[in-house]
Structure 1
Amino acid sequence: MSKIPKSPYFDYCEEPDTLDQIQFNVNSEVIIDSQASIQIIFTAKKEYPRGTMFRFIIPYGWEPIDLKSGIISIKSTVKGRIKSAKSQIMVLYQINEPLEIGGSVEFNYNESKERFTSGDIAYIDPVYVALDYKLLKEKLFTRIGTKQVKMVAGKASFFLIKIPTIYQDKPADIHIVALDKNGNRDYGFNESVRLKGDNCLNFPEYAQMEKGYAKLEQKLTFKKYMGEMTKVETLMRENLGFGDFPTAQELLSNIGRLTVQFEGLYGESNPIVWDKDFSTQVYWGDTHIHTREFSDGIGTGRDGFNYAKNNIFHDFAALGDHINQRTNTWMEGRTMYPYSYTNEVWQELIELCKEFTDESFVAIPGYEWSGRVLYAKAVLNLDCPYELVSDKVVLFPLEFAEKAPLIDYISKEGCFQHQLYNQLKGIECAIISHTTQSWPMGTSWNEVDNEFEKVVEIYSSHGSSEEFGGGYRTLMTNRKEGSVKYALNNGFKLGFIGGGDDHYSHPGCPIKQDKMKNFAPTLRYRPGIAAIFSDKLTSRDLIKNLNNRNCYGTTGERMWIKLKINSTLMGQETEVNEPPTIIITVCGTGRVDNVELIKNGETVAIRTPANDRIKFAFKDNDLKIGEEAYYYVRITQFDGERGWSSPIWVKANYSGT
């Protein structure tokens, strides 16, 4: 009887009822960043012929197997040789003579326990060790043993506090979570913590945490709304000499933040804003997550959604796995040839989104269309009409996702940009270009249709694509013609978001990405985050507002950014009959270094607040009659974190000069 693989793109099947004796010596629970060791002893209960290959698998996310480092050893009662499995988590042992009944093969990992091997990610799904074998003429391995291992977070190191960004005239919830130094939730933290905050807020003094979490329902209110705003003439003042920029009183009465403390642990919240210009809420999340079962990540989809929902309290998250399955050195048994999504795989992803979606969190189905000139030329033997074919994340409303077209970028029908657009014509979706400034997965704006693409990922764990030569969190490879600035200066109207391109199922993790071992040093920065203004928290409404450019992006912090010209807010177009006055209001999650107003790609105003917030105005007397311009805000904190508003596009229709 022929063997059937576990999944079409795996190279092994399962044989759970093997007669062989397998001893797994590894703890059932392992604390992250510990000196964990593994021993697997296989004792044969039947004969295995010469040439049989045994494959040992360690948990994903642990210290990778390196044959030169001495981290592993294999010994056997018969002669054989250790071979590379071309994987971070697997190693092979091929026997040179028959292994008779009673013979054994023993695998050891970190036997000396000198290394800290267990990685720094406490997944919600168990990881595992496993053993496969394959006879000399067989194509597939057979899995004959598995032991699950539960990863446990370290001790709490800091707090993450989330409160709503926009106060909607009613008491709001406060979420507090205790995270270890690697951003994992410490489920063993059960202490009473103290809250402090700005004088404009009412809130409890203490919160009792259980399993590393506390939710204070409807416990946050403002004391009083200050309706009288600072005059525009006052807001136009600049920093003079060595004095601080004047603080508008509404910044103190209508914007507030909280802090949480327990002994040496500390955390600060995002700002909450009482602003009558907004009837919507700002929803935060990541549109770009990768997993191990759907493409080239480390953790599972459940890990990713759980972390987003229950660890850092994103409002939404989207899987953006490559639609064409590829090799994954952190995934055992992945075949080396491309394999596109099947309807069954897509349905599995949709069901996962349904499992995690509720009134407080939206899981959005999507995929990454990763076209390349290389695929068109080398794989498909087609001439490419474009300089580059770029990575794009495509998101679909959950209620319509089952009918979404699965467009394979390694196919004659889907390898070019125009083919992607043609197949998505009339389909409710959002298309988001990714790492536009990089190469070879960057964007050639000549092949982008702005009617289909309304928003761009200005920042991700790869770095910033805002401008060429800007010097801020630069990508590994850079092309001037791929920058967002280049696109805007050539007439594109794009909203901005931050994204993760998370490959280890910890989207939005608030620390530097040292754990991204599978893609270091390419993914070397903290993941970004998207802010979407929306009336409702549904996948359909979020996608609609992305396409309406009602959004902004940051490098991971939930900053407040407001850009206004007359009654027009960020992401929109307007005509003015006099030189435009731009009013900017920002509040960071820490002290703000500077706030810049960008016009047509160049900084035209800089303000330096004394603390975490500022409101100022700028009148552009240089915009002449008939001219057009775009304006956006860039905010940089002292801790290096940054945010970008979506632009406002202005046309001057006034008379005179």
Structure 2
Amino acid sequence: MEKNCYKLENLSVAPNNVNVRDFVNLSITFDLNFNLPKDSFLVFRIRGGRNNKNDWYCMQPYNPNANGYTVLSTNKSVKFMPLLITGKELLIKFLVCEENGILKSSTFHLKMYNTLVQSLVELKKKIEIIVELPGKKPIRLENSPSINVLNSSIFDHFTIICPSFVNLNEEFKVLIRVEDKYKNLIENFDESAQLYEVMSPNERKYLIKLEFNHKDQGMIIKKGLKISKTGIYNLEVSYKNQWFKSSPIICINNSPKKRLYWGYIHGHSLKSDGIRELNEYFENMIKAGLDFGTITEHDHNWETSDEDFEEIKHSIKEFHKNNEFVSFFGYEYGTWYSGYGDICIYHYTDNIPVFRSEINKYNSTKKLIKQLKQYEGNILMIAHHTALRPGFRNWKYFDNSLEKLVEIYSTWGNQEYSFSQGNPLPPRYKFFGCGKYARKRGAILEKKGSFVSNALEKGYKLGFVAGGDDHFGIYPSGSIDPDNGIYPPGIMAVWAEDNTKSSLWNALHNRKCYGTTGPRAIIKFYLDTYFMGDIIDLNDKPYLNSERTIKASIFSPLPIEKIELIRNNEVINIKVINQDHANYEYIDFDLFDKITLKHCQKKELFVFYYVRVFISNNNMAWSSPIWLTKNLEETSSDLNKNAN
């Protein structure tokens, strides 16, 4: 019997709709069109597998008085032996114990009592039914039942997304999301609120009334807003005696050369191992108020075919619109347990092939670099979870002309430095649990020598971004933390001339960017007059040999706890802040030659600086570094000339 011939018949599910985080009773009835011999397993999986990621809990076949009690019966007296599997998966395998098995057309009844629904809205959420016949591979039945997981319609908060910079009296727009406590949009919200401009707690200015109705689907965009006085602002929404604050807006009286744009460029849809349709993922990035974004499906052909990648490119063109939402093609190259790591590869042009890690001539970092070198300038390599032991990056093979950025933070944690050195968000593997079912986050799985700090110590010039490896797609870059999601996703910020593909690409190539664990904190970082991402030749600026002034200005939606100044991977200064903005300055009087590191691949001495920012609620942010370098080859050549 062919695999696709195994089917359910006369399928019914009740109820068809459930609300997030409710305890519900579920009933599934069906017939099978095939026989189940003795020692077969009939498997019901509610969580697990490539495209069934969620935080659904409470499913067990043992205690009728406990939540999630699950029982399987048939229209005939049949003996089953249940086996519960929890953790990364949540499923029950029912072993057929009848000597003669179960004949086709038998009717099965599965009942689950007080099972705890996942926190994420998901239409057509699958309850997978899998058959394991003796001596054969498992067969997932394609017409497995599904239900709609809807939001609870219980208001929790507004999320207000606005630009980080505006000119005096310049029109701008604001996006306002109505969300439940799990950050799902409340699509049937039908009430009013008030929007205010706030310069300080005592300076609130009423702007407009916000009228929501069900047609808005939980989100409205208001255009034509202006600020008439320079300064640092927030927008606030007032609703039923509650106040909800936006990220900071800085109003200036002259147009800046560069503005700040927010994006998210590492996530997955159903085209590999996510749970959202491709177009829904892009729509949700726009609904998240992002200025730019894309998805990065896995390079393996068994996950994402050539046809899938062509469809992705088509969607990118469809959703891309300069100055509104910018997108570009990317994918995730991955070879775990090899040291080659997971690397997201982004294309500026459409004529670059996908290099699949399963093909021999592309299956190492060294081979990959060789193939990509011909596309220098039109590709970007960004390494992902570099210090996570299963997918670590061996920094031996590296080309700075192709790889200019690193994902310092994602749902896998902070890859910057180790737990033993004080990293509060160390690389971890998955964990599970909700409320009283919660377990601690998964084990710390670090790989010595593969941290971002190790790459910087070698002399590699890497700017920082943060993001996700998001697989849920409900709110890309929103700080959702599904119970099997390790850490909340981060977000990246880019200083660019405008929100166009060419401008953003140029800014990324020059490391004019930074990352946070989620808060849209505005960060400026300078050494002398040089900005984050810059590389300064000491021969051109000899006065920096003995004195370097480092400055940072930070404006955060949450209180800043402290700022650490990092020089060559060491904390050389700490400033406690405990407020939502900071102007930081430090003068380094150490002589350049006394503090330098040596580049591992060329004759160069260097020093690098960046700020590590600790923000309340266990958040962090990192500026991209600034480097001060001295080329030893030039120095040697000059000495030879003088000797002659």
Query: What is the aligned partner in structure 2 of residue 152 from structure 1?
Result: 150
CA contact (8 A) 1:405 1:423 kept: no
Query: What is the aligned partner in structure 2 of residue 233 from structure 1?
Result: none
Whole-angstrom distance in 2 between the partners of 1:137 and 1:632: 58
CA contact (8 A) 1:318 1:395 kept: no
Aligned CA distance change for structure 1 residues 471 and 101 (closer, same or farther; 3 Å): closer
Q: Aligned runs of 1:542-553 on 2, under 5 Å?
A: 542-553=504-515
Query: What is the aligned partner in structure 1 of residue 369 from structure 2?
Result: 421
CA contact (8 A) 1:201 1:223 kept: no
Report whether the alignment pairs 1:565 with 2:527: yes
CA contact (8 A) 1:494 1:549 kept: yes
Query: What is the aligned partner in structure 2 of residue 247 from structure 1?
Result: none
Question: What RMSD, in angstroms, separates the aligned Cα atoms of the two structures?
Answer: 3.3
Whole-angstrom distance in 2 between the partners of 1:85 and 1:356: 43
TM-score calculated relative to the size of structure 1: 0.77
Query: What is the aligned partner in structure 2 of residue 611 from structure 1?
Result: 579
Q: Secondary structure at the match of 2:611?
A: strand
CA contact (8 A) 2:344 2:381 kept: yes
Query: What is the aligned partner in structure 1 of residue 331 from structure 2?
Result: 367
Query: What is the aligned partner in structure 2 of residue 272 from structure 1?
Result: 249
Q: Secondary structure at the match of 2:360?
A: coil
Shift of 1:43: 4.2
Q: Name the aligned partner's letter for residue 415 of structure 1.
A: N
Q: Secondary structure at the match of 1:319?
A: coil
Whole-angstrom distance in 1 between the partners of 2:272 and 2:84: 19
Query: What is the aligned partner in structure 2 of residue 256 from structure 1?
Result: 233
Aligned CA distance change for structure 1 residues 84 and 405 (closer, same or farther; 3 Å): farther
Q: Aligned runs of 1:252-401 on 2, under 5 Å?
A: 253=231, 255-263=232-240, 265-274=242-251, 278-291=256-269, 293-310=270-287, 312-324=288-300, 339=302, 341-359=304-322, 360-374=324-338, 388-397=339-348, 400=350
Q: Secondary structure at the match of 2:195?
A: strand
Whole-angstrom distance in 1 between the partners of 2:71 and 2:352: 48
Aligned CA distance change for structure 1 residues 631 and 78 (closer, same or farther; 3 Å): same
CA contact (8 A) 1:202 1:222 kept: no
Query: What is the aligned partner in structure 1 of residue 642 from structure 2?
Result: none
CA contact (8 A) 1:156 1:185 kept: no
Query: What is the aligned partner in structure 2 of residue 635 from structure 1?
Result: 613
Shift of 1:491: 0.8
CA contact (8 A) 1:370 1:409 kept: yes
Shift of 1:413: 1.9
Q: Secondary structure at the match of 2:506?
A: helix
Q: Aligned runs of 1:506-517 on 2, under 5 Å?
A: 506-508=474-476, 510-511=478-479, 513=481, 515-517=482-484
Shift of 1:544: 3.5
Q: Name the aligned partner's letter for residue 176 of structure 2.
A: I
Q: Secondary structure at the match of 1:643?
A: strand
Whole-angstrom distance in 1 between the partners of 2:255 and 2:387: 34
Whole-angstrom distance in 1 between the partners of 2:407 and 2:331: 15
Q: Name the aligned partner's letter for residue 482 of structure 1.
A: S
Q: Which moved more, 1:282-291 or 1:271-280?
A: 271-280
Whole-angstrom distance in 1 between the partners of 2:462 and 2:189: 43
Aligned CA distance change for structure 1 residues 93 and 396 (closer, same or farther; 3 Å): farther
CA contact (8 A) 1:574 1:650 kept: yes
CA contact (8 A) 2:128 2:141 kept: yes
Write the deviation string for residues 444-466 of structure 1: whole angstroms up to 9, x where unpaired.
Answer: 22222222210011111221122
CA contact (8 A) 2:44 2:128 kept: yes
Q: Secondary structure at the match of 1:187?
A: coil
Q: Which moved more, 1:128-137 or 1:200-209?
A: 128-137
Q: Name the aligned partner's letter for residue 264 of structure 2.
A: D
Shift of 1:630: 1.5
Report whether the alignment pairs 1:42 with 2:4: no
Q: Aligned runs of 1:512-531 on 2, under 5 Å?
A: 513=481, 515-517=482-484, 523-531=485-493
Query: What is the aligned partner in structure 1 of residue 424 from structure 2?
Result: 472
Q: Name the aligned partner's letter for residue 120 of structure 1.
A: S
Q: Name the aligned partner's letter for residue 571 of structure 1.
A: G
Shift of 1:632: 1.2
Whole-angstrom distance in 1 between the partners of 2:303 and 2:28: 35
CA contact (8 A) 1:563 1:585 kept: yes
Q: Name the aligned partner's letter for residue 446 of structure 1.
A: K
Q: Aligned runs of 1:530-549 on 2, under 5 Å?
A: 530-539=492-501, 541-549=503-511
Please, which runs of 5 or more residues in structure 1 have no aligned partner?
A: 4-11, 225-252, 326-338, 375-387, 518-522
Query: What is the aligned partner in structure 2 of residue 192 from structure 1?
Result: 192
Report whether the alignment pairs 1:63 with 2:89: no
Report whether the alignment pairs 1:496 with 2:464: yes
Q: Secondary structure at the match of 1:392?
A: strand
Whole-angstrom distance in 1 between the partners of 2:293 and 2:493: 12
Write the deviation string for residues 238-262 of structure 1: whole angstroms up to 9, x where unpaired.
Answer: xxxxxxxxxxxxxxx2x22222231
Query: What is the aligned partner in structure 2 of residue 9 from structure 1?
Result: none
CA contact (8 A) 1:282 1:531 kept: yes
Q: Name the aligned partner's letter for residue 570 of structure 1.
A: M
Shift of 1:642: 1.4
Q: Name the aligned partner's letter for residue 13 of structure 1.
A: N
Q: Name the aligned partner's letter for residue 272 of structure 1.
A: I
TM-score calculated relative to the size of structure 2: 0.79
Aligned CA distance change for structure 1 residues 135 and 603 (closer, same or farther; 3 Å): closer
Whole-angstrom distance in 2 between the partners of 1:348 and 1:82: 45
Whole-angstrom distance in 1 between the partners of 2:172 and 2:588: 38
Q: Which moved more, 1:525-534 or 1:630-639?
A: 630-639
CA contact (8 A) 1:341 1:406 kept: no
Shift of 1:608: 3.3
Write the deviation string for residues 8-58 of structure 1: whole angstroms up to 9, x where unpaired.
Answer: xxxx53789x8x423x232232210112332222246x7747468755564
Whole-angstrom distance in 2 between the partners of 1:49 and 1:498: 49
CA contact (8 A) 1:162 1:313 kept: yes
CA contact (8 A) 1:55 1:133 kept: yes
Whole-angstrom distance in 1 between the partners of 2:297 and 2:177: 28
CA contact (8 A) 1:287 1:318 kept: yes
Whole-angstrom distance in 1 between the partners of 2:527 and 2:616: 28
Q: Name the aligned partner's letter for residue 470 of structure 1.
A: G
Give the alignment partner of residue 445 of structure 1, picking from 395, 419, 444.
Answer: 395
Aligned CA distance change for structure 1 residues 549 and 216 (closer, same or farther; 3 Å): same
Report whether the alignment pairs 1:214 with 2:165: no
CA contact (8 A) 2:15 2:27 kept: no
Shift of 1:589: 0.9
Identical aligned residues as a percent: 23
Write the deviation string for residues 432-489 of structure 1: whole angstroms up to 9, x where unpaired.
Answer: 1112222131222222222221001111122112223223212222234222222222
Query: What is the aligned partner in structure 2 of residue 593 from structure 1?
Result: 561
CA contact (8 A) 2:260 2:496 kept: yes
CA contact (8 A) 2:479 2:518 kept: no
Write the deviation string for residues 563-585 of structure 1: whole angstroms up to 9, x where unpaired.
Answer: 12343211112243422322211
Whole-angstrom distance in 1 between the partners of 2:586 and 2:104: 84
Aligned CA distance change for structure 1 residues 543 and 14 (closer, same or farther; 3 Å): farther
Aligned CA distance change for structure 1 residues 63 and 321 (closer, same or farther; 3 Å): farther
Count matched residues.
569
CA contact (8 A) 2:477 2:491 kept: no
Aligned CA distance change for structure 1 residues 436 and 35 (closer, same or farther; 3 Å): same
Give the alignment partner of residue 105 of structure 1, picking from 108, 125, 130.
Answer: 108
Q: Secondary structure at the match of 1:126?
A: strand
Query: What is the aligned partner in structure 2 of residue 244 from structure 1?
Result: none
